[in-house]
Amino acid sequence: MSDARNVLGGPLSTCSERPKTGWFRTGCCETDAGDLGRHVVCALMTEDFLAFSRARGNDLSSPGPGFPGLKPGDRWCLCAARWLEAFEADAAPPVVLEATEESALELIALEALEHHAVPAAAPADA
């Protein structure tokens, strides 16, 4: 893992190994200049958020080539702008602050992320 930092200022933790997430598919919400969507928010999928995302043209539930499809309870590195859009629509999924990359703060207030925070304990299938 790189020397990426999380929104709390500490080392960036792994978001999910199963399914393997992240811009680089390392399991971490790391990013670079090529990641135009800024996939930096480690979120815990909920049925409400998956429906919200599907309604906006990004079906994260259905499997595709190299993508298993997500279900409630999975962790996934979301685009910061999509998480903010869901937050503004009262549909934001919970976030793991320790696994959310610090550049998320360029778009999202820390207080909003903290309000939706869940414990960093590893998911059962990670």
Q: What is the pLDDT of residue 120?
A: 82
Q: What is the pLDDT of residue 126?
A: 43
Residue whose structure tokens are 């680089």: 24
Secondary structure of residue 121 in the 3-state scheme: coil
Query: In terms of residues, how long is the chain?
Result: 126
pLDDT in tens, 62-99: 998 888 899 999 999 999 999 999 999 999 999 999 99
Domains in the chain (CATH in brackets) are 1-118 (3.30.56.110)
